[in-house]
Amino acid sequence: MALMKPVKPVGITGYGAYVPRYRLSGQAISELWTGGNVTPPVNEKAVPGLDEDVVTMSIEAARNAIARAGYADPGFSSASLGAVWVGSESHPYAVKPTSTIVAEAIGATPYTQAADWQFACKAGTEAIQAAIGFVGSGMTAYALAIGMDAAQGRPGDALEYTAGAGGAALVIGPAENALVEIEGSVSYVTDTPDFWRRQYEKFPEHAGRFTGEPAYFHHITSSVTALLQAMHLSARDFAYAVFHQPNVKFPLKVGEELGFTLEQLRPGLLVNEIGNTYAGSSVIGLTAILDIAQPGDRILLASFGSGAGSDAFCLRVKKTVPAKHVWTTHEYVQRRTPIDYAQYARMKGNYKLN
């Protein structure tokens, strides 16, 4: 059976995003490597500062999620988290978990489960699926799932234009106290090597046109179609939809193929302003939608991870949280400091002096 539902109803108790303030324009990349002869696929992308990485950004997003969860459920605190999971393809350590540092910083230690997740761009929703299972089985009351990346792109490669930084965190808990109920999900995976990075390699490789078909479009279409059929729903039943955002064209095209309108897609489409945040791409789009969604709204979330797979979720909003004291996703997007390519290269460590 394709549809997955936990034994106990589960929902999103709190959510939070984080995006670094620094922005590099696609035109600056094009001018350096092609003399301006390539039209950038996105306007600009977010770049981590010198003191930022997946750990620091995950902590910021987690604190925002915890703040909202405390409002939604007064009985919740960071000590309630029975699991802290961070999905990323740019963990700062090869051997040392990101999740334990995050758990310590937010006050979830020592009695919690901690783990790092990897599945390319769907590492964040992979952590969400596991959190649903943990909470839905009764193993713990709450779990924290994070999708965050400071993605690398080889200088001059097509990925450099879109590989941005940022992501989001979700507190998963009992549906009765949640902001959003998770009504069901479907996961669809195959062995499709469209994108990879071997051990000890700094930059990822990709299979060019195969990243569209048979990778991105086939997997998202398959997971979403199975979810809609299993739940007897259609695109018309959703107020919003958000898909993985490697560029502007792909989510718009797959959304149209599945019957979704631009009005349903636009609120969660952030890639033109912050780039592809990889493990956080679809999840940060969800947080932007949750900032404006109203009770009763149904939301479709569908990720894609190279290698390859897609997780699709049917969500229904139950209640909202005032924005007071918690940054909205668009406030992070709009907070921007432009930088040039030389500053970007220094921040990313692309060039070493020794």
In CATH, what number is assigned to the domain containing residue 72? 3.40.47.10
Told to judge if 219 belongs to the known catalytic residues of this protein, a careful annotator would answer: no
Mean pLDDT of 31-44: 92
The Cα–Cα gap between 197 and 199 comes to 7
**118 CB contacts (<8 Å, ≥6 apart)?**
87, 88, 89, 91
Half-sphere exposure of 198 (CA within 13 A, CB side): 0
Q: Among 165, 170, 187, which residue's Cα sits nearest to residue 85? A: 170
Checking if the pLDDT of 256 tops 80, the result is yes
Q: Are residues 164 and 219 in the same domain?
A: no
**Residue 87 backbone class (left: φ over 0; alpha: ψ -120 to 50; beta: rest):** beta
Domain annotation covers residue 167: yes
- Residue of 44, 60, 89, 183 marked catalytic: 89
Q: Are residues 72 and 203 in the same domain?
A: no
Domain annotation covers residue 5: no
Domain annotation covers residue 3: no
pLDDT band at 41 (very low <50, low <70, confident <90, very high): very high
Mean pLDDT of 92-98: 93
Domain annotation covers residue 4: no
Q: Are residues 32 and 171 in the same domain?
A: yes
- Residue of 60, 160, 244, 273 marked catalytic: 244
**139 CB contacts (<8 Å, ≥6 apart)?**
82
Tens digits of residue pLDDT in 126-144: 999 999 999 999 999 999 9
Domain annotation covers residue 353: no
Q: Are residues 206 and 176 in the same domain?
A: no
**348 CB contacts (<8 Å, ≥6 apart)?**
47, 48, 152
Domain that holds residue 200: 185-317
CB 107 within 8 A of CB 44: no
Q: How many domains would you assign to the chain?
A: 2
324 burial type by CB count under 10 A (0-12 exposed, 13-18 middle, 19+ buried): exposed
Tens digits of residue pLDDT in 273-331: 999 999 999 999 999 999 999 999 999 999 998 889 999 999 999 999 877 779 999 99
Q: Are residues 126 and 195 in the same domain?
A: no
Q: Residue 150's pLDDT is what?
A: 92
Domain annotation covers residue 323: no
Q: Residue 120's pLDDT is what?
A: 83
Q: Give the rounded percent of residues in the chain with a pLDDT score beyond 70.
A: 93
Q: Are residues 38 and 164 in the same domain?
A: yes
Mean pLDDT of 225-254: 97
Domain annotation covers residue 1: no
CB 97 within 8 A of CB 114: yes
Q: Are residues 168 and 290 in the same domain?
A: no
pLDDT band at 198 (very low <50, low <70, confident <90, very high): low
Q: Are residues 268 and 166 in the same domain?
A: no
Domain annotation covers residue 259: yes
Q: Are residues 201 and 163 in the same domain?
A: no
Give the mean pLDDT of the chain: 92
- The distance from CA 138 to its chain's CA centroid, rounded to whole angstroms, is 25
| CA distances in angstroms from 37 to 28, 33, 46, 249, listed in the order given | 11, 9, 22, 20
Q: Are residues 205 and 176 in the same domain?
A: no
Told to judge if 330 belongs to the known catalytic residues of this protein, a careful annotator would answer: no
Q: Are residues 293 and 239 in the same domain?
A: yes
Told to judge if 89 belongs to the known catalytic residues of this protein, a careful annotator would answer: yes
Q: Are residues 152 and 18 in the same domain?
A: yes
Mean pLDDT of 269-273: 96
- Residue of 121, 126, 218, 314 marked catalytic: 121
pLDDT band at 351 (very low <50, low <70, confident <90, very high): low
Q: Among 62, 253, 262, 251, which residue's Cα sits nearest to residue 162? A: 251
The pTM is what? 0.94
Q: Among 91, 15, 5, 8, which residue's Cα sits nearest to residue 56? A: 91
